[in-house]
Amino acid sequence: MLIARADKRLHDASLRLDLAFAPGLWTNVVVRRGLLLDTRFVPAYRGAARPGHCVYLLARGRVEFEDDTSSSVRVGPSAWTLSAEELEGAEGRRVLNYRNEGDPFVACEVHVRSEELLVHAPPGAPELNLGDDVWRSVERLAAMPTAAADDDVQTELLTLVDGLRRGGVLHARAAERARSRVPLERLWRGVRPLAERLDVAATLDQLGELANTSRRQLDRYVHAFFEQVPLVGSGFRSATLHLRLKLAVLFLSAEGVTATEVAEQMGYGSIDAMGRAFRDAGLPSPSVVQSALRP
């Protein structure tokens, strides 16, 4: 697995992400305090939906879903599945909006290729019935210090994936691939410092300098990475643009934080630059978003 662990704080709000990538699978352990995510203010991905699914494991917190005809609420511990389109949208629109919050909010997303998901349990359906071993793995991952060794993180993630396999949620192939080597260590040497700083403003040229590789070779590495991992987006630029806006909206929900501070943290340079990015994405201004998230 390729592993990166990010920890960003702004005033009393904090976000920790533990990211791990394997062929055909990636996971994201999220621990948030003082932040909420409302996808009404997160632009839907503009490209075509990728054929991936997410097993969403909510350990602590609350998630409210809403589509054109109904709404539902889940409170942790609770588990369900979402397609990539339901999670991030596609073609510039969302089929499902959700708002999640909690102090702390603790969740784990396990993203796999659609053919390796054995059961479908969307938000409006009965939740997945998982064993206690799965929830213990999520809690142990959330409690690990950011300085924990990669081997320890990987061991716990493999335990979690095995628990989902034993529970009949994931195909055995997914568990096998989680143990497979991702032959992109050179690329990861450049990506990892950026990921751990949540530096989503970096360019491919900067990434090439960090990875000490030519632009031509870097393009091949990046293409191979997105071919192997079911991430939203079809390349580096589309994925980082989507994530940058998502993180900006998330941190605008923090109490006592100014829009200018969020713009600086997200690498926009100025509140005007962030405002232009929001406008280009079809979003209200940062101040309007902030007021809606903190009534």
Q: What is the pTM of this model?
A: 0.92
Over range 159-172, report the average pLDDT.
Answer: 96
Residue 117: pLDDT over 90: yes
pLDDT score for 217: 80
Residue 219's domain spans which residues? 2-293
CATH of the domain at 84: 2.60.120.10
What does the block give as tokens for 264?
């600086």
* pLDDT digits 0-9 by tens, 193-245: 888 888 877 777 877 787 788 888 878 877 777 776 666 666 777 778 888 89
What does the block give as tokens for 115?
């053919």
In the chain, what percentage of residues exceed pLDDT 90? Answer: 60
Whether residue 135 contacts residue 59, with contact meaning beta carbons closer than 8 Å, is answered with: yes
Whether residue 76 contacts residue 128, with contact meaning beta carbons closer than 8 Å, is answered with: no
Arithmetic mean of pLDDT over the chain: 89
What does the block give as tokens for 232?
């939203």
Q: Rounded distance, CA 95 to CA 66, Å?
A: 9
Over range 248-274, report the average pLDDT.
Answer: 93
> Measured at the alpha carbon of residue 135, what is the angle toward residues 57 and 121, in degrees to the nearest 5?
35
pLDDT score for 206: 78
pLDDT score for 110: 96
pLDDT score for 23: 86
Q: Rounded distance, CA 77 to CA 137, Å?
A: 12
pLDDT score for 233: 61
Residue 289: pLDDT over 90: yes
pLDDT score for 242: 83
Over range 126-131, report the average pLDDT.
Answer: 92
* pLDDT digits 0-9 by tens, 74-112: 999 999 999 988 998 888 899 999 999 999 999 999 999
pLDDT score for 291: 94
37-46, 68-77, 153-162, 196-205: segment of lowest average pLDDT: 196-205
Residue 129: pLDDT over 70: yes
pLDDT score for 184: 77
Residue 286: pLDDT over 70: yes
Whether residue 164 contacts residue 110, with contact meaning beta carbons closer than 8 Å, is answered with: yes
Domain count, the chain: 1
Q: Rounded distance, CA 3 to CA 222, Å?
A: 16
Give the SS3 label for residue 123: coil
Over range 141-149, report the average pLDDT.
Answer: 92
| Closest to 17 (Cα-Cα) out of 3, 30, 8 | 30
* pLDDT digits 0-9 by tens, 171-188: 999 999 899 887 777 778
> Exposed, middle or buried: residue 158 (CB in 10 Å: 0-12, 13-18, 19+)?
middle
